[in-house]
Structure 1
Amino acid sequence: MALILFLHGASSSGKSTLANALRDQASRPFLHLSIDHLRDSGAWRPADYPDWSTARPAFFAGFHRMLAGFAEAGNDLIVEHILDTPGWHAELQALLSRHDIVFVGLRPPLAPLTQREKIRGNRPAGSAARDAAHVHDGLRYDLEFDGSTPVADMAQTLLTHLQTPRPRSCFFAG
């Protein structure tokens, strides 16, 4: 059974920053997987998909199966994702049901989200605000962060959480 730290939040909510802090502080190795990694490596080039709305379902079905494949092979994961499409959560619940997940919600206020988005410059303007308006709807988390805590402290809180007995993850609720 793999351990999966599932970081969920709007675009520009700090998922990558937290993932890097976790890897720096953890005493065990984690694979860090995200759509951004596929884009940045050139494995996925958005420009190759002029009809993204048609290609998107197959792309994410493959991404979800890739996550499950790495976990099934025994790799501990840090996953960054935005569950913004109906059915994705249920699909991932089924694919990852045999694994130990810590579902982490990142909910910084809108002002820092939009500022980070602007500084990054590689996101469509307004995507962070659109995500923040709905991506947390109906979800419960094992841990939540609102952006007021320094990232090193968030990472330490999460790693400390791993050292205590935990009930089944809220990821599998609903």
Structure 2
Amino acid sequence: MVDVIILNGGSSSGKTTIAKCLQNSLPTSWLRFSIDDLIDAMPDAMLKADSGIKFGDDGSISPGTEFRTLGSAWMHGIGEMVRRGARVIIEDVFISGVEACNRWEASLEGLQVLWVGVFCDPTVASARESERADRVAGMAVSQATTVHVGIHYDIKVDTTKTSPEECARIIGQRINP
């Protein structure tokens, strides 16, 4: 039985919409957490400090040591919630690629994880990004392919032409065959 669903994809690829569709379509209750939740929970000073997380004007992201420390605690906290009975959908952007995947694996050790790659054509993701007020221009294009390098997935979905509902249905089939 799957305990955790991890959706990895670039900015504006459709992770949140898919996660919400999953919550509404799965027969049991699932909590949803996003890397954006972690960033939003941090003090504003973390968005400026070298040890925090910096967002470049070109859409680049540079996580520092304190951000990584807090991120690790957040990941382990989610793992502990799952060990205590919660089922969780995680939306993440593996900026550091395989290293990010390895951190999640360590935090979720012993749990059944479904790894989902959420793909989207960079041009389509960029158009979605331009419609959002909470994104730095360029994030979608810079992340669209790089977050997937070296990652092994149980399922891959592509939101370029596939609806979030259909993506959720495909993922749901792996949870409730």
The partner residue of 1:121 within 133, 140, 151 is 133
1:9-158 correspondence runs (5 A): 9-39=9-39, 43-45=41-43, 47-49=44-46, 50-51=48-49, 52=52, 53-85=64-96, 87-147=99-159, 148-158=161-171
Pairwise CA distance, 1:138: 0.9
Say how many residue pairs are matched.
161
Pairwise CA distance, 1:2: 6.2
Pairwise CA distance, 1:16: 0.3
Task: Give me the whole-angstrom Cα distance separating, in 2, the residues matched to 1:87 and 1:142.
Answer: 18
| Contact 1:9-1:106 at 8 Å conserved across structures | yes
Pairwise CA distance, 1:115: 1.0
Q: Percent identity?
A: 26
TM-score (norm 2): 0.83
What's the Cα RMSD here? 1.8
Pairwise CA distance, 1:22: 0.6
SS of 1:135's equivalent? helix
**Is 2:13 aligned against 1:8?**
no
TM-score (norm 1): 0.84
**Is 2:160 aligned against 1:162?**
no
Task: Give me the whole-angstrom Cα distance separating, in 1, the residues matched to 2:5 and 2:39.
Answer: 21
Stretches of structure 1 that go unaligned for 5 or more consecutive residues are 165-174
Pairwise CA distance, 1:157: 1.5
Letter in 1 for 2:87: D
Stretches of structure 2 that go unaligned for 5 or more consecutive residues are 53-63
Task: Give me the whole-angstrom Cα distance separating, in 2, the residues matched to 1:151 and 1:63.
Answer: 27
